[in-house]
Amino acid sequence: MFQNLISSEAELRDFLGEPSELVKRKQLPALDKHGRTFIAQSPFMVIGTTGSDGSCDVSPRGDPAGFVQVLDDTHLVIPDRPGNRRADTLRNIVQTQSIALLFMIPGVEETFRVNGHAWLTRDPTLLSTLQAHGKTPQLAIGVELVECFLQCAKAFKRSELWMPNTWHERQLPSLSCMLLDQIGPFELSSAAVEQNIAESYVKRLY
């Protein structure tokens, strides 16, 4: 299906050229004050992981700003809030310990990236520091940072993601309608599925 492929890193470098000295030097082996501040102000991030079979996953995480705790210059901890139990991220971490994080702040077009290793922890002392709405998470993701760096705003400028005048009314069906279209006949009606989803947003966020 795809033609005229680039098939090696050498060929890629011949095509793209080398990154600038600034781009090379912005990669840091530990958090500095700017990285710490960015994480503290971020209420949303995405986690990228890979499984032992090479499969990949990207998953969103969100909470009030500062929900990802910085333990020291190279260690972070992310609370694992209730989800749908697919556990794609968690399974991949158990298998490979590889992780990539992308932190975002609403209205800020730059992002902050962290790459490193990760483990699942049930340490009660650590988990107690991650409480929200009076509830303690059952698990957390501990991250050992290998590299981190700021990402420029080109993607957000191109997408105009944070520009309210580009936002439109929702043009998608409801989640329940899309799910039932995808999976076919199901024992619950669209209205019942929608009710379950709405209830989970109220009662099962934490």
Question: Residue 4 falls within a domain, yes or no?
Answer: no
Which residues are within 8 A (CB) of 141 and not within 5 positions of it... i.e. 6 or more apart? Answer: 47, 77, 78, 80, 89, 90, 93, 99, 118, 119, 120, 121
The total number of structural domains that make up the chain:
2
Considering the domain boundaries, does residue 2 fall inside one? no
The domain in which residue 55 lies consists of 17-159
Distances in whole angstroms, Cα of residue 125 to Cα of each of 120, 141, 143:
14, 14, 17
Let me know whether 116 and 187 are in one domain: no
Residue 3 falls within a domain, yes or no?
Answer: no
- Tell me the average pLDDT across 96-112: 98
40 and 57 together in one domain: yes
Distance CA 37, CA 32 (A): 9
Mean pLDDT of 83-95: 96
| Domain contains 8 | no
Say whether both 88 and 179 belong to one domain: no
Place of tokens 């990207």: 58
Q: Mean pLDDT across the stretch 82-104?
A: 96
> Is the pTM of the predicted complex or chain greater than 0.85?
yes
